[in-house]
Each structure stands twice: as structure tokens, then as C-alpha cells.
Amino acid sequence: DTGVSQNPRHKITKRGQNVTFRCDPISEHNRLYWYRQTLGQGPEFLTYFQNEAQLEKSRLLSDRFSAERPKGSFSTLEIQRTEQGDSAMYLCASSLLGVSEQFFGPGTRLTVL
Amino acid sequence: AQSVTQPDIHITVSEGASLELRCNYSYGATPYLFWYVQSPGQGLQLLLKYFSGDTLVQGIKGFEAEFKRSQSSFNLRKPSVHWSDAAEYFCAGSRDTASKLTFGTGTRLQVTL
């Protein structure tokens, strides 16, 4: 399968714990995006990378959130000191430079107890 | 601010009937527009996209959408719905090929047999 993959698919954690999600984009895709989707809503943009550079961050991305793409390939999204309001589906997408079409992974569903 | 609006939260149609899902956008210039479908437990799949040119665009699974600048709309249509089309449908827009997607809140389609 050469699509976007995300791990883990599900994560249950207790409030206050740290969690990290991984996204592997389609190979040779330069751009990588993170979105968050809560129940009954459309995905909301969090941040995006072009190669290893983080070019834009949403104001939704509080200082408890950090994202990296160290070698311009896979990316990680870490949430520190999780809160119940962080419970959501975290989606990753990738695209090729100059092409607007974004390909989405299956998402990581986070539940904070 | 850029926005995408889907006025219908939930639509029910009979199998074999025609379908139209509404989408309105608010952008300074003509945006790039997309329709995605999301089935339970699945990631977002791109149905079709509009950048410029012919205002009637064809997509996968027999879907089409028409861009109407005068109405700021990009409605999704299908002449005959199949039970397998039951899913959540999202309209999205972006300013250019690099920008984040701004999603509507989605329309849940239910198909009755």
C-alpha cells in the first residue's frame, strides 16, 4: 500500500499524559499537513510542512502541541499534558509540490479519559 | 475570512434517486474547490476538484459538481444514488496549491432501500 499511513490508529490515554502520533506520507510528496476533526465537524487545519520546514501553524495549535518532520519524510505530532478537549481524530495528508490535491491517511483517534 | 458552508447537515434519499449536496464558499478570489467523502472508519477520499476552466467537473463514482461563480456555489450531484454512497461528504476550499484546506461541516447522506 503506497498511501498515507498513520500510527497508531487508536490511542486512549489519561488526562495529563503525553502522546505522540506518526504520519508516513506518500513517498516523494514534499508537503505534509495535520488536521484535527471533532465529532460532527469538518477537519480543521493544524500545521503543515514543506520538506522539513514547518511553514504554517494554526492558532488551534497551542503550546502543548508540537510537530516535527526531521528528514522531510515522516512526521510526528506530540501533545503534552493531554486534556479531555484534545479528544478527536487527528488526520494527516500529503501532497506534491505544485499540486493542490491532498491525500489523507486513515487518522488516529485519540480519546482522553 | 475564507470559509466553506454546507447548509445541510443530514440528507436522506432513496436508492436510485438523484442527489444534490450544497456547498457555498467565501473567498477573495476563485478558490480551488474539492469534494471529499468519508465513510466510517475510513480516511477522506477525494471525489473531484475544480481549479479553473469547465465549470462542470466529473469525478469518481459517478459524481459531478458544478461551479457557479455568481452564486458562490459548488454543488455535488449524482443522477442515481446507490446504497454504498451512504457516508459523510465534505466540501473544501484552498487559496492556492500550497495552502491548507478549509472544510465545511459536512453533510451526512443516508440512503434508504
pLDDT tens readout for residues B8-48: 999 999 999 999 999 999 987 888 999 999 998 788 999 99
Q: pLDDT (tens digit, 9 = 90+) per residue, B57-84? A: 999 999 999 999 999 999 999 999 999 9
In chain B, the residue whose alpha carbon lies closest to the alpha carbon of A33 is B100
Cα A68 to Cα A102, B40, B84, distances in angstroms: 19, 29, 38
Question: What percent of chain A shows pLDDT beyond 70?
Answer: 99
Cell of A110: 485519540
- Statement: residue A40 has pLDDT above 60: yes
- Statement: residue A105 has pLDDT above 90: yes
- Statement: residue B50 has pLDDT above 60: yes
Cell of B79: 443522477
Cβ–Cβ below 8 Å for B43 and A35: no
Q: Is the dihedral of CA B46, B50, B51, B56 positive or negative?
A: positive
Question: What percent of chain A shows pLDDT beyond 90?
Answer: 85
- Statement: residue A1 has pLDDT above 60: no
How far is the alpha carbon of B70 from chain A, nearest alpha carbon, in Å? 24
- Statement: residue B87 has pLDDT above 70: yes
Inform me whether the C-beta atom of residue B104 falls under 8 Å from chain A C-beta atoms. yes
Higher-pLDDT residue of A15 and A62 is A15
* Mutation for testing the A interface, residue in B34, B50, B100 having most A CBs under 10 Å: B100
Distance CA B40, CA B19 (A): 20
How far is the alpha carbon of B109 from chain A, nearest alpha carbon, in Å? 13
pLDDT for res A78: 97
- Statement: residue B98 has pLDDT above 70: yes
Cβ–Cβ below 8 Å for B97 and A99: yes
Element of type H or E holding A6: strand A5-7
Mean pLDDT of A7-27: 97
For A56, the closest of B96, B100, B102 (CB atoms) is: B100
